[in-house]
Amino acid sequence: MRLEAAAFSELAENTKDDPGFRVPAVDWERTGRDVITMEWIDGVKMNDLTGLAAAGHDLKAIAANLVQSFLRHTLRDGFFHADMHPGNLFVEPDGTIVAVDLG
């Protein structure tokens, strides 16, 4: 799990100035070989389309942001999120996409 936690830290550094996308901070004091501890995410899972719409999110804008973020990570940073599916992506109240579980 420490390798995945290190990948989270790398992705966080790569994307710290990217609008509309972030990863949760790793709590290194509580992360070990078998567990990753991160900050709490207060958002709606991206696969909950009803919840996203009810929260007032623009689904087309979220989709466009997701595609742009993925391309930035891959092409600019050479970083690939190995488990990017809607269950591993949350949308915060301000519309920011938060990626969890890098696979």
Of the residues 27, 48, 83, 94, only one is catalytic, namely 83
- 83 noted as active-site residue: yes
d(CA 95, CA 20): 7
DSSP for residue 24: P
CA atoms of 23 and 97, how far apart (whole Å): 8
Q: Measured between alpha carbons, how far is 35 from 33 in angstroms, rounded to an integer?
A: 6
Residue 46 near residue 89, CB atoms below 8 Å: yes
Active centre residues (catalytic) = 83
